Structure 1
């Protein structure tokens, strides 16, 4: 791989952002059907084959997601998040239970990641360990962890081996990236080292992880996309692929899709994470390059690929672009009587929160130009 040339996402790019149909999601007018009747579900991702395509078992795609019981304030779900295994076929979701047994993971909560089925029949489950297992007081230390259970079928349904080793692969190095080790905080207010996205570079066949990270800023930390490369001895943490240069402090769920020999780097971010808050919309953003190391240029001039409608600024989030250019995300808050839904009281927020898969969208990529359609 060539020397990394980090892209800098700047105010100059965001000044080119326009409100256009090609980069605006259709309105979600009513809550979509729930994936799980009694649990909130968000941040979905497929178990991938080594070529990047979704794994199919017994005629159904195998997926994972974050889940938590659908009670209390929706914003508190992050404090109870667990990885859930799901099957999806013909528009129907089937619950296959928690990915790991109680107390098995290395954090007090399990945050987003990715998964890939290996040729030996195991599945590398990469996830974020948030906090520490057994901690008496919740913290926000973040580590990238791998567990590798064996995938089997039982009665026609996929099952993952229950008792396996969990290994820390990466922590922020306090060199390229700020440590993600705060004791206090919450979503949007903490440094990041999370959301590992697995990617195999077709140019050399090597495995990589993209990680949502933080780097120093003038007055605050800035969002970045970290890159790690597999080696015979573990993982090498490399310089960032992208830095949000003073414009955003929380880049989430970074991932790469190769299309027509170009490398498309995608990530999600919220409107409150921009500087100043609200200066750009919640959306899926992206850059494109001729190779994984760069150089990257912003898609559509600004980086914006997909935004929520202006009248529904929080309707969906955490989008993921699949190898066939389907775009999946989760349905977040429906519009209400004004105000910030995440800051409303529990009953009001719960009444507006969807907590399920959003309608699937489809992306067209033509060089550095994109179009999103239902």
Structure 2
């Protein structure tokens, strides 16, 4: 093992997580349904931007592109993950989005495809897209399975004309990585409520120029290992994995030890990604209230960590890790946050999840009549949140409209808060 990857894995500890709390710096305002959804025919959730190799947002002939997991909007929301497909959407202003269609017509690996990332190479033939995704489920299984592998599709190209934008194949699909069982838990080793090996996120380190892939995983903890004071906590073993491309080839990666683990704390560290500023690494993930180990009070929230270098001693932002969460009377109104740099501030996109719903668990959604499940699911892009960042501290600065994703060079518009006098409007929402 190289010097770069030697040493113990930094940890998100129970001591850190015991300090989690809602306050004025991290609670987003109540979300109200938009006048129009991005696409009335689709449920839309986990979203990511097409980025250039250096991590900047790609802009192709004046258009920016997002990708999202989707399903038909007449499907009960709780069933959407079982049939998820990835579609792309494009915009000239970052506010109004046009549906571009499914990214893969056929040939994709897995029974369905879950979240990942996409890198645009303008120097390739016609501008090539490297599309990283989670191949969920065994390809030939008759029953629905939950095997997860990190996959890559290459060969897609972006075309624009007066009628709009399209991303065409043919795509070549390959499995990039599977868990090794030593650094990253295999499915047959899992003892927890949820098994994870997913969410590949391409990253080129601006400090070293090296090429990496981040992902969500679990740390193997054999039964009776004694890693936690309570053996039950050992089933909560989420980690943030990383793989390295020795040659810089974005199609070849080798597993490396995790960047961070949450053994004894949390089972699921979803959609890891970086923002790097002046040599400081800000690592962000999303997680759920129900994936925290017993004895800890967490939230559906965006969490973050900071270090001075890629393999540094990551410490939780704000002392405990929570950056952005939902209000107590709308605890599941948004999820799957993604952070990107915007000048002095950070912008955070997410999807509009369940509103007019304040029960303690999302499990209770299934107790509602089907028509109520449908009514209360947002299924579109949530308002964009603007975060202030000062060293290892963050705070909510403002909120933009649903799905408004400005480019870094674009000044922020008049905010949602300033467009109407909403003082007190959240009172008694339920």
Give the superposed CA RMSD.
2.2
TM-score by structure 2 length?
0.81
Partner of residue 372, structure 1: 396
Kindly indicate whether the alpha-carbon contact (under 8 Å) linking 1:326 and 1:362 is maintained by their aligned counterparts in 2.
yes
Kindly indicate whether the alpha-carbon contact (under 8 Å) linking 1:141 and 1:182 is maintained by their aligned counterparts in 2.
no
Higher deviation after alignment, 142-151 or 104-113: 142-151
Higher relative contact order (CA closer than 8 Å, sequence separation 6+): 1
List gaps (5 residues or longer) in structure 2. Answer: 222-230, 400-430
Kindly indicate whether the alpha-carbon contact (under 8 Å) linking 2:46 and 2:351 is maintained by their aligned counterparts in 1.
yes
Q: Does 1:75 align with 2:81?
A: no
Q: How far apart are residue 283 of structure 1 and its match?
A: 0.3
Of the candidates 206, 231, 241, which is equivalent to residue 259 of structure 2? 241
Partner of residue 99, structure 1: 103
Structure 2 Cα separation of the partners of residues 32 and 133 of structure 1: 39
Q: How far apart are residue 278 of structure 1 and its match?
A: 7.3
Structure 1 Cα separation of the partners of residues 141 and 378 of structure 2: 30
Partner of residue 223, structure 1: 238
Higher strand share: 1
Of the candidates 141, 144, 148, which is equivalent to residue 147 of structure 2? 141
Higher deviation after alignment, 207-216 or 157-166: 157-166
Kindly indicate whether the alpha-carbon contact (under 8 Å) linking 2:17 and 2:296 is maintained by their aligned counterparts in 1.
no
Q: How far apart are residue 343 of structure 1 and its match?
A: 2.9
Q: Measured at CA, do residues 338 and 367 of structure 1 come closer, stay the same or move farther in structure 2, by a change above 3 Å?
A: closer
Partner of residue 191, structure 1: 195
Q: Measured at CA, do residues 342 and 223 of structure 1 come closer, stay the same or move farther in structure 2, by a change above 3 Å?
A: farther
Partner of residue 326, structure 1: 347
Partner of residue 213, structure 2: 209
Q: Deviations over 1:91-137 (max 9, x none)?
A: 101011000013x1011100000001013121110000001234211
List gaps (5 residues or longer) in structure 1. Answer: none
Q: How far apart are residue 337 of structure 1 and its match?
A: 7.0
Q: Measured at CA, do residues 173 and 337 of structure 1 come closer, stay the same or move farther in structure 2, by a change above 3 Å?
A: closer
Structure 2 Cα separation of the partners of residues 182 and 164 of structure 1: 33
Of the candidates 250, 262, 277, which is equivalent to residue 280 of structure 2? 262
Higher deviation after alignment, 296-305 or 253-262: 253-262
Q: Measured at CA, do residues 22 and 239 of structure 1 come closer, stay the same or move farther in structure 2, by a change above 3 Å?
A: same
Q: How far apart are residue 197 of structure 1 and its match?
A: 1.1
Partner of residue 35, structure 1: 38
Structure 1 Cα separation of the partners of residues 137 and 63 of structure 2: 33
Larger-gyration structure (1/2):
2
Q: Measured at CA, do residues 98 and 277 of structure 1 come closer, stay the same or move farther in structure 2, by a change above 3 Å?
A: farther
Q: How far apart are residue 221 of structure 1 and its match?
A: 4.4
Q: How far apart are residue 291 of structure 1 and its match?
A: 0.6
Paired positions, count: 370
Structure 2 Cα separation of the partners of residues 251 and 294 of structure 1: 18
Q: How far apart are residue 205 of structure 1 and its match?
A: 1.0
Higher deviation after alignment, 50-59 or 274-283: 274-283
